[in-house]
Amino acid sequence: MSREAMPQPGAWRGAGGAEKPTLEAGAASPGPPRAARAAAEHEEDMYRAADEIEKDKELLMQERGSSGEPRLSVAPEMEIMDYCRREWRGNTQQAARMRKGYEEVSQKFTSIRRVRGDNYCALRATLFQAMSQATASPAWLQDPELTRLPEKLISKHSWIKQWKLGLQLEEKGEDLVENIKESLALLRRKWAALADLGTAEARQLACDELFASADEEYLLYEAIKFLMLSRAIELYDDREQGKDVPFFSVLLFARDTSRDPAQLLRNHLNQVGHTGGLEQVEMLLLAHAMRHTICAYRLSKHGTEEFLTVFPTDPPRDWPVVTLIAEDDRHYNIPVRLCQETSL
């Protein structure tokens, strides 16, 4: 997509970065949900409209199935074309496009793991993939200043006190600094423990266990959201000081709902896990916050140059790569078992 097709922010200082992602600004489409699947085989899509927020607590009571066991955040792997045939068996243009997309992905990956489709879906898929394939703890995560970051930022930006914890964490105390510090410390500890495991199979099993523990899983999302906010503040301040910034950050703060980091928190990050997920421009922010390259097969874009979208468009070579499958820019699944060596 050309830059001319994007909303233009005007002559901002520091807007000279070369990054011009081929995606819509705020590209989470408000369009219809995915095509209906066979009822016996299809779990509910848990994206919720804003007018359903009063049902949140009832939904939390449904987090456990009739057996009393927590629902899987990331389902066991299955053969990718078996999954495709099960989910996209119709004769519509959309179903045909999705099948073609899956056929192309199956040339690189043999299997898929379905990610639970609530409003944490993008965070869940990205973090699970990053942690399950980690062979070393990232340097930025080992920084001793990391757990001091909440106190530092909140003392400087009092509006961060508007932070909204995930519904699953509402029973925690009201000390925001301590809650965020706890989440960052947990992220550091769990990532390091996974990286220390000797085999990919051991990491997968440990990750499955971690993401089945609701208390810990949702704390990890708070940590990542805070890192996203921290990165957004850094980019905004750089732009205000006339420094060069990545082009996606120009788009991020060009939206009427996120003219500055405070609005980004109130109108976007606070809604993640409640009434909304991550928009496409926020996937770029996620990539920068985690210092990971996110490669997404956008199946609805099959046959276009946007079929394989890379966040960011020109990543540093030393960033680890995670690969996702997006059916509709809202729901992400995880491809597994590479069947041939590929490169970006």
Please confirm, yes or no, whether 207 is among the known catalytic residues.
Answer: no
Longest dimension (CA), the chain: 58
Whether 260 is catalytic is: no
| Cβ(83)–Cβ(114) below 8 Å | yes
Task: Sort residue 329 into left (φ over 0), alpha (ψ -120 to 50) or beta.
Answer: left
Helices (H), the chain: 56-61, 80-87, 93-105, 121-132, 139-142, 149-156, 176-195, 200-210, 214-240, 247-252, 261-267, 280-290
To 5 degrees, how large is the angle CA 77–CA 83–CA 88? 155
DSSP string, 264-314: HHHHTGGGBTTTB---HHHHHHHHHHHT-EEEEEEGGGTTSTTSEEEESSS
- Give the pair of three-digit tokens for residue 73: 């955040």
Question: Is 118 marked active-site?
Answer: yes
Q: Which of 196, 328, 331, 339 is catalytic?
A: 331
Taking the C-alpha atoms of residue 340 and residue 164, their distance in angstroms, rounded to an integer, is 43
Radius of gyration of the chain (CA): 20
Catalytic residue of the set 118, 288, 302, 328: 118
Q: Compute the residue count for the chain.
A: 344
Catalytic residue among 121, 295, 302, 329: 121
Residues known to be catalytic: 118, 121, 331
